[in-house]
Amino acid sequence: MTIHQSPPSSVLVIFGATGDLAKRKLYPALFKLYQKGHLSENFAVVGVARRQLTVEQFRGSVIESIRQTLNIDVDANMDSFSRHFYYHPFDVDDDSAFSQLKDRLNELDARFNVSGNRIFYLAMAPRFFGTVAVKLKRAGLTNIRGWKRLVIEKPFGHDLRSAQQLNDDILQVFTENEIYRIDHYLGKEMVQNIEVIRFANALFEPLWNNRFISNIQITSNETLGVGDRVNYFEKSGTLRDMVQNHMLQMVSLLAMEPPSRLNTEEIRSEKVKVLRSLRSLPPEEIDHYFVRGQYDEGFVNGERVVGYRDEDRVDPHSNTETFVAGKLMIDNFRWAGVPFYIKTGKRLAKKSTQIVVEFKDIPMNLYFNQSGQKGPNLLIMNIQPNEGMILHLNAKKPGPKGGTTPISLELTHHPVHTMNSRESYESLLLDCMLGDTTNFTSWDEVALSWIYVDPISLFWSNQKSQDFPNYKAGSIGPQSSHDLLAKDGFHWWSLPYNEKP
Ligand code: NAP
């Protein structure tokens, strides 16, 4: 094991320890951190959930989930790793159980010599977030000699009002600096790369404004349908599930001014300014800026799939959107007049998350009438899969007649980097243990995102969509999303990796 920067020792309490997130994301991420030597031997994990498991059964299920997710055999590390895991079954509705948890944590505190440091990770349904935080305080679990941190999964509220209520609840127990609101997109290597690409390259920063950029497109396509998240998704829809958090976070990273220092406060403050500059949309204008869709039956990766309304437990007349495309305007000096287009949906043809920066044409194109193909310069950032960047340029077509041909410079992550590229949760868990909140969402960002999104969701919930379902599963989305760009003279550059425009 190579020892890198080790976070201080701590006990991590995972509420929802038998759930999907814990098994598929948290345990594999913790194991990888352990393998890489990022966790000292002085750490313990306490799982909380209702089902009755012995500590051996719990450790077995942790190992199994790591094995399945990472597709690896049991190795010696796994056994020593799992000995840091404990299980404390109880129903969080039972107040008295919290004081028993307190005794258990005190005992592990001493055994693993963690100096009283505690992280509480709420990997359970959102309705528990506020109440669990308050109960932790009441039972004295947050009254400790070390530091305490609270990690909260998405969604942070359902709208501004509920988010404010949740925030008020947890602020009774944790300060803003102790709250780690997860947006797992911020843990992605290429999303973290946006700032570096922008602010560490003389080539890009001078061009990063409305004089040289015609539009920016951010796409996050899924091939999956609603799966077993129906109860949540029916009430949420894609606008709340994807736009309020991930898409707006990417917009703010792409549009922010260079921070005066690379610290959490300065970066967050610049992102907040972008969200404040978003043009708010009065109801009568929403249809000009946003379109929604819902998938019909179709074929995804060659397999027949049902339409959203025919999914198990979905209302057959559901008005919930599974697709959103929108045009966001940022009314500030840098971005006046440059549309930021976003597009995200379920059951689309191909899974990909991609940013395309389209540059304006040069003032006088000498090659305009020459034979061949000439496209705009594009900077493409592939967030997933195949992390990397491509820069599309125009060059001379080989041969005597000349003309132009598009060429691409591929700045692909080297295979070695890709292999070492960390999963979001690995990066975010380590940041949390190290006490770095930069890649988590601040309250101001959450609030401003809801302020932007709430009028759209209100407008949509009052107006039943007449054309749902309006795109076939396995397609590239509804026609309205293409029309949205076409009326501005643009089109989506949803290019597969390596494909030329
Ligand atoms: P899940 O599979 O339904 O797991 C919920 C967990 O909570 C289970 O361990 C369950 O265990 C426990 N639980 C439920 N009621 C309880 C109670 N009254 N007392 C104690 N424990 C209780 O949910 P999930 O998919 O892991 O999601 C967890 C959170 O992460 C949610 O907020 C979700 O929105 C968020 N999230 C999940 C994903 C994902 O990929 N899964 C992605 C992004 C965000 P018992 O039944 O044994 O009590």
Q: What is the pLDDT of residue 416?
A: 44
Q: Judge if the upstream peptide bond of residue 478 is cis by omega within 30 degrees of 0.
A: no
**So what's the pLDDT on residue 197?**
92
Rounded average pLDDT over 33-39: 91
Res 75: pLDDT:
78
pLDDT-wise least confident of 83-97, 165-179, 276-290, 414-428 = 414-428
User: What does the pLDDT average to over 217-227?
Assistant: 96
CB 212 within 8 A of CB 360: yes
- Give how far the C-alpha of residue 225 lies from the chain's centroid of Cα atoms, to the nearest Å: 18
Ligand 1 contact via 93 beta carbon (within 6 Å): yes
Per DSSP, the three-state class of 456 is: helix
C-beta of residue 341 within 8 angstroms of C-beta of residue 326: yes
For the segment 275-293, the average pLDDT, to the nearest whole number, is 97
The Å distance, Cα 18 to ligand 1 centre, comes to 8
Give buried/exposed letters for 247-260 (b at 16+ CB in 10 A, else e).
bbbbbbbbbbbebe
Q: Does 420 score more than 80 pLDDT?
A: no
229 CA: nearest ligand 1 atom: 25
50 Cα nearest atom in ligand 1:
48
What are the residues facing 216 on neighbouring strands? 340, 357
**Any atom of ligand 1 within 6 Å of the Cβ of 126:** yes
* Ligand 1, pocket-test mutation among 21, 136, 232, most atoms within 8 A of CB: 21
Q: What is the mean pLDDT of residues 351-363?
A: 93
Question: Which pair of structure tokens corresponds to residue 56?
Answer: 């051996």
Closest ligand 1 atom to residue 155 Cα is: 34
Is the pLDDT assigned to residue 72 strictly greater than 70? yes
CA of 244 to the centre of ligand 1 (A): 21
User: Average pLDDT, stretch 18-33?
Assistant: 96
Q: Is the peptide bond before 469 cis (omega within 30 degrees of 0)?
A: yes
Measured over the CA atoms of residue 285, residue 291, residue 220 and residue 158, the dihedral's sign is positive
Q: Pick the atom of ligand 1 nearest to 91's CA.
A: 19
Query: CA 108, CA 100: separation in Å to the nearest integer?
Result: 13
The residues annotated with a catalytic role in the active site are 246
What angle is formed at CA 269 by the lines to CA 267 and CA 273, rounded to 5 degrees?
Answer: 120
Distance 171 CA to ligand 1 centre (A): 22
pLDDT tens-place string over residues 449-461: 999 999 999 999 9
Between β-strands 213-221 and 339-345, what pairing exists: parallel, antiparallel or unpaired? Answer: parallel
Q: How confident is the model at residue 363 (pLDDT cuts 50, 70, 90)?
A: confident
Give me the mean pLDDT over the 15-35 stretch: 96
Residue 157 Cβ inside 6 Å of ligand 1? The answer reads no
Helices (H), 200-304: 230-238, 248-255, 264-277, 286-289
Residue 370: pLDDT band (50, 70, 90) is: low
Closest ligand 1 atom to 25 CA: 40
Instruction: Give the bridge partners for 324, in sequence order.
Output: 292, 344
What is the Å distance from ligand 1's center to 392 Cα? 43
Q: What is the dihedral sign for C-alpha 225, 229, 235, 239?
A: negative
pLDDT in tens, 258-269: 999 889 999 999
Q: What is the pLDDT of residue 395?
A: 87
CA-closest residue to ligand 1 atom 43: 154
* 369 has a pLDDT exceeding 60: no
CA–CA distance, 388 with 297 (Å, rounded to integer): 33
22 alpha carbon to ligand 1 midpoint, in Å?
8
Q: Is the pLDDT of residue 60 over 80?
A: yes
Pocket test for ligand 1, best of 20, 48, 135 (most atoms within 8 A of CB): 20
Instruction: Quote the ligand 1 centre to 390 CA distance (angstroms).
Output: 38
Using alpha carbons, select from 260, 190, 267, 220 the residue that is nearest to residue 441.
Answer: 267
Taking the centre of ligand 1 as the mean of its atom positions, its distance from the CA of residue 128, in whole angstroms, is: 10
Return the DSSP state at 284: G
3-state secondary structure of 273: helix
User: Which residue's alpha carbon is nearest to atom 19 within ligand 1?
Assistant: 91
Confirm or reject: Cβ of 305 under 6 Å from ligand 1.
no
Give me the pLDDT at residue 3, please: 38
Q: Evaluate: CB of 94 within 6 angstroms of ligand 1.
A: no
Compute the residue count for the chain: 501
Q: What percent helix, strand, coil does the chain show, rounded to 5?
A: 40, 20, 40
Q: Ligand 1 mean position to 493 CA, how many Å?
A: 37
Q: How far is the CA of 125 from the centre of ligand 1 (A)?
A: 5
User: Does the pLDDT value for residue 415 go beyond 60?
Assistant: no
Average pLDDT over residues 206-217: 97
20 lines ligand 1 (CB under 6 A): yes
Is 123 near ligand 1, meaning CB less than 6 Å away?
A: yes
Q: How much is the pLDDT for 368?
A: 59
In 3D space, the residue among 391, 381, 387, 383 whose CA is nearest the CA of residue 419 turns out to be 387
Ligand 1 atom nearest 122 alpha carbon: 29
207 C-alpha vs ligand 1 centroid, how far in Å?
45
Higher pLDDT, 191 or 415: 191
- CA-closest candidate to residue 346, choices 308, 387, 386: 308
Mean confidence (pLDDT) of the chain: 92
- State if residue 388 touches ligand 1 by the CB under 6 angstroms criterion: no
414 lines ligand 1 (CB under 6 A): no
How much is the pTM?
0.94
**% of the chain residues with pLDDT over 90:** 82
Q: Which one-letter amino acid corresponds to residue 228?
A: D
Ligand 1 binding pocket includes 187 (Cβ within 6 Å): no
Q: Residues 41-47: what's their mean pLDDT?
A: 94
Q: Is 52 in the pocket of ligand 1 (CB under 6 A)?
A: no
Mutation choice for ligand 1 from 14, 24, 50, CB with most ligand atoms inside 8 A = 50
Determine the pLDDT at residue 282. Answer: 96
Give the residue, out of 124, 224, 232, with the most ligand 1 atoms within 8 A of its beta carbon, to mutate for a pocket test: 124
Q: Can you point out the beta strands (E) in 385-490?
A: 388-396, 404-412, 471-473
